Amino acid sequence: MSGKKEENQKKRQERRRALDRRTKQETTNAKSWAREWGDALLFALVAALIIRALFLEAYRIPTPSMESTLLTGDFLLVSKMHYGARSPMTVGIPFTSIYMRGINLPWFRLPGFMDVRRGDILVFNYPVDDAAISQKTNYIKRAVGIAGDTLEIRNKVIYINSEPEEGVETYEQQYEVMIRERLRLSPSKVRAAGGQMLPSSGDRYRINMTSVVADEMSGWPEVNEVRPFVLPVSFNDFARQPFTFAQGFSSNYHHMPKMVVPFEGQNVTLTDGNWYIYQDIITRYEGNQVSRDGDIFVINGDTTNQYTIQQDYYFMVGDSRDNSEDSRFWGYVPEDHVVGRAWIIYFSWNSERFMPRFNRLLSRIN
C-alpha cells in the first residue's frame, strides 16, 4: 500500500514538473513573440523617422489657396531630397508638435540635387509664426520669385524681371462676368463648368475660376463680357492687415511696386521708406537687434543704415490668386524655412461626395 502511494506521488510530481516546463516554455515563447514584435515596431519607428527626416513627408491640403492645381483633401508626399533635408532643429517628441521651447539645436542642410526654381511648389514653415522654425505651421505655395529676381505686380499681373510670369492653366482668380439685359447666370451651370460664384448683385457676377473656364464662359449666349476683377490702385485694404510688409504699400496686392527678392550677400541701404520690406528679415529671420529713429538705424549696437542679407529668400504665391494669404501680405520666405518640394499626390478625398478622387491618385505635381 505504501509503495502504491509513493508511486502515485511520484506521478503527480512528474505531471507537476511537466506542467511547469510547459508553462515556462509558453512564457518563454510569449516573451520571444513580444520581443520580436517590439523589435519590429522599433525598427518600423526608426525607419519612419529616418524616411520622414531625410526623404519624404506626408502633407494634407487643408485650404483652397492652391486650387485648382491642388485641391482641398489632396494628400501629398513632399520630397526633402530635392533641396536637401534639414538636420533636427529642436528637441521634441517625434510625430507631435511637443518640443522643448528655448532649446535650438545647431543645424545644417544636407546636399540636395537641385536648387529652388521659379515655379516650384514648396512646403515651408509659415515665417511669421512665433515658434522655432521647424515647429511653425506648414504652408504650401508656388515660388513665383526666387532670390535676386526683380518682381512687380501691375493690374494683378505678376512681372518677373520685367516679363509677365509664365501662366499655368490651373491658376484661379476672380473674374467679373457681365450678363446681357434681362438674363441671369445659373449657379449650377457655373459650378458644373468649374467656377465658384461669389456674392454678386445686378447684372455683374464675381466668379472665381481658371482662364480656361473664363474663355469657355465668354462664349455662353447669356454672357456679354468676362474680364479679370482688378482692384483700383486707390483702394487700400492693407490697413486691416496685421503684417508690416503689407502695411508698407500705399495700394493693394493687385498693384505692387518693383522690388528685388532678397538674396544672400545683397547689400541694402535702409531707409524709413523701405524698412517695411526688411524689418522681418533683419529682426525676425536673421536675429538682429534693431532700434531706429526715421532713417537712423542702430543694429546690434552699431549706428548704420547698411545691412548685408544673410540667406536667400523666396516670394511665394498661392495658385488661387484671390483666395490666398501669401508673400503679397506677409513678405518673403527665408531659405531656412523651406521644408521640401511638393512631389506626388498619393491620395485625394472629396469631402462633398464622400469618396476618393480616383483620377488624382499617384499623380505628379507640377
Q: Are 50 and 85 in contact (CB under 8 A)?
A: no
Identify the CATH assignment for 55-149+313-366 out of 1.20.210.10, 2.10.109.10, 3.40.50.2000, 3.20.10.10: 2.10.109.10
Confidence of residue 19 (pLDDT cuts 50, 70, 90): low
Q: How far apart are alpha carbons 23 and 18 in whole angstroms? A: 9
Q: Are 344 and 325 in contact (CB under 8 A)?
A: no
Element (H, E) at 299: strand 296-299
> Residue 313's closest CA among 92, 182, 72, 144?
144
Q: Is the peptide bond before 68 cis (omega within 30 degrees of 0)?
A: yes
What CATH superfamily is the domain 172-228? Peptidase S8 propeptide/proteinase inhibitor I9 (3.30.70.80)
Residue 131 confidence (pLDDT) above 80? yes
Pick from 33-42, 209-218, 290-299, 333-342: least confident: 33-42
Quick one: pLDDT at residue 2?
A: 60
Q: How far apart are alpha carbons 285 and 124 in whole angstroms? A: 14
Phi, psi of 128 (to 5 degrees): -85, 0
Residue 1 confidence (pLDDT) above 70? no
Q: Are 207 and 174 in contact (CB under 8 A)?
A: yes
Mean pLDDT, rounded, for 271-277? 92
Per DSSP, the three-state class of 205 is strand
Residues in the chain: 366
* Residue 13 or residue 350, greater confidence: 350
Quick one: pLDDT at residue 178?
A: 94
Percent of the chain as helix, strand, coil, to the nearest 5: 25, 35, 40
